[in-house]
Amino acid sequence: MVKNIINVRKLSKVFDNSLRAVDGITFDVRQGEIFGFLGPNGAGKTTTIKMLTTLISPTSGDAKIFDFSINKSASAVRASVGVVPQEFTADEDLTAYDNMLLMADLYGVSRTIAKTRIVELLSLVELSNAAKRKVNTYSGGMRRRLELAIGLVNHPKVLFLDEPTLGLDVQTRAAVWTYIEKLKKEYKMTIFMTTHYLDEADSLCDRVAIIDHGKIIKIDTPKNLKDSLGGDIIELKIENERTNVSDLLKKITGVKNVKKNGVEYRLKVKSAETLAPKLITMLTSKGHKVTKLSLSKPTLDEVYLEYTGRSLREEQSNSLDIMSMRRTQRLSRS
C-alpha cells in the first residue's frame, strides 16, 4: 500500500479581484513519486504551490502534508518541506555558500550538519567550484541549480518545484531533469512540480494532473493519459502490393483500427513497439514485403488538446507575475 504524503481537499483561492485562481481541487500525492501539475500560465499552478507551501492562505479547503494542515500547522509544514520557487530567490550579493548557510540557519539546521551538507549539495548540483563566487556572476543554469540546492538544505522529504526549467536552454533543461531524477532516487524524495512544458511532464513525472482555469481536469500517469487517446500509430507500406491487407491486419490482437491512405496503411494499435515485429513477421510469412514502417506515440500535446480543447497557451496573469517571470527568463539566458 503506497502512502499518501500530500492530501489536498477542495482547495480554493479567490483573489481580491474575484479571480478564481484555484477552484476546489482535490488530489493526493503518493510517497516517493514525482507529481506534475501541467497547465498553461495562469491556470492556477503557482497559486496551488504557494498555498501548499503556506505562502498564501487558501480561501477555502485544506491540504495536509505529513498530516500537518497548511491552515493550522503552517510552521510545521514550512519546516518539513523544501521549496524551489519560479523566481531566482538567492541573494545576488552573497556567495552561493553564504546563501546556503543563511538558509540552513533559517531552517534550524545545526552549523556542523550544515557545513557538510552544503558541501554535499553543492557538489550534487556541480557548483562546488563556484561556491565562493557571488551569485550575480552565475549563469542562468547555475542559478537554477543553486536554487535546487538551496531548496534541499533542510533535507526535505517533500520538495516543491515551481517551473524548474522556465527559460532555460535545451541542454540546461536536460541537466536539471537529471538532477531532479537523482534527487528522487538518492534522497527518496516526493516531488511536486509544476510545468507548462509537455515534454518535461512526460519524461519526469510519475503522475500528471492537467489543470486548467483552476480546476483539475484529469490525473493519471503520462502513459495512461496518452493511451487514453486510443493508442499508438503504426504506418507501413508494402512493396508491389497486389491485394489489400487491411483485413489481415485487423485480425492481429492489439490492432484497433486500420485505415488505408493511398498506398500507406495507418494502424491505431495498443503498443506499437511490441506489435511492429509481429506485424512484419506475419506479413512476410504471407509473402508481403514491408518497405517502410514508422511508429509514433501520442504526445502529451495531443492529450492536452483532447482534455482542454486547446493547446497550451499563454494566458493573462497579473503584471507582477509577468514581471517576475520575465526577470527569471532574462536572468536564465545570461
Partner 1 sequence: MTQTESKGIHSISYLARSLWSITNRDLKKWYLAPVLLFISLIQPVVWLALFGKAFNFAGIFTNASFNIPGLNLPASVLNTIGNTLLTNTFGTTSYFSFLAVGMLAFIVVFTSMMSGMSIVWDRRFGFLDKLLTTPIPRASIVIGKILNGVVRSLAQALIVLVIAVLLSMNTAYFSVGGILIAFGALFLLAFGMSSLFVLLALHSKDWQTQMAIANLLSLPLLFMSNAFFPISAMPSWLQAIANVNPVSFTIAIGRSTLLGITPTISLGSAFLYLGVFAALLGTVSIILSWKLLKD
Any bridge partners for residue 68, and if so which?
Answer: 65
Kindly state whether residue 326 participates in binding partner 1, applying the rule CB under 8 A.
no
Contact status, residue 307 vs residue 210, Cβ threshold 8 Å: yes
- From 204, 192, 152, 221, select the one nearest 29 (Cα to Cα): 192
Kindly state whether residue 320 participates in binding partner 1, applying the rule CB under 8 A.
yes
Kindly state whether residue 217 participates in binding partner 1, applying the rule CB under 8 A.
no
Residue 123 CB, nearest approach to partner 1 (Å): 21
Any bridge partners for residue 237, and if so which?
Answer: 264, 292
Nearer to partner 1 (CB atom), residue 114 or residue 258: 114
Residue 313 CB, nearest approach to partner 1 (Å): 25
Nearer to partner 1 (CB atom), residue 113 or residue 174: 113
Residue from 14, 55, 119, 233 touching partner 1 (CB under 8 A): that is 55
Nearer to partner 1 (CB atom), residue 62 or residue 227: 62
Phi, psi of 62 (to 5 degrees): -150, 165
CA–CA separation, 117 and 101 (whole Å): 10
Residue from 2, 17, 108, 309 touching partner 1 (CB under 8 A): that is 108
Pairing of strands 34-38, 207-212: parallel
Neighbours of 275 (CB within 10 A): 20
- Name every residue whose Cβ is closer than 8 Å to that of residue 270 and which is 6 or more positions away in sequence: 227, 231, 232, 254, 255, 256
Kindly state whether residue 321 participates in binding partner 1, applying the rule CB under 8 A.
no
Residue from 7, 24, 71, 107 touching partner 1 (CB under 8 A): that is 107
Kindly state whether residue 97 participates in binding partner 1, applying the rule CB under 8 A.
no
Determine the interface stretch with partner 1 among 96-104, 243-251, 253-261, 305-313 (rule: CB under 8 A).
96-104
Kindly state whether residue 133 participates in binding partner 1, applying the rule CB under 8 A.
no
Kindly state whether residue 229 participates in binding partner 1, applying the rule CB under 8 A.
no
Kindly state whether residue 215 participates in binding partner 1, applying the rule CB under 8 A.
no
Kindly state whether residue 85 participates in binding partner 1, applying the rule CB under 8 A.
yes
Kindly state whether residue 103 participates in binding partner 1, applying the rule CB under 8 A.
yes
Number of residues that bind partner 1 (CB under 8 A): 38
Nearer to partner 1 (CB atom), residue 90 or residue 198: 90
Q: Distance of CA 246 to CAs 28, 162, 258, 278, 280, Å?
A: 45, 48, 6, 15, 14
Residue 56 CB, nearest approach to partner 1 (Å): 5
Contact status, residue 192 vs residue 52, Cβ threshold 8 Å: yes
Contact residues for partner 1, defined by CB under 8 A = 53-57, 75-76, 78-81, 83, 85, 87-94, 98, 101-103, 105-110, 150, 154-157, 320, 324
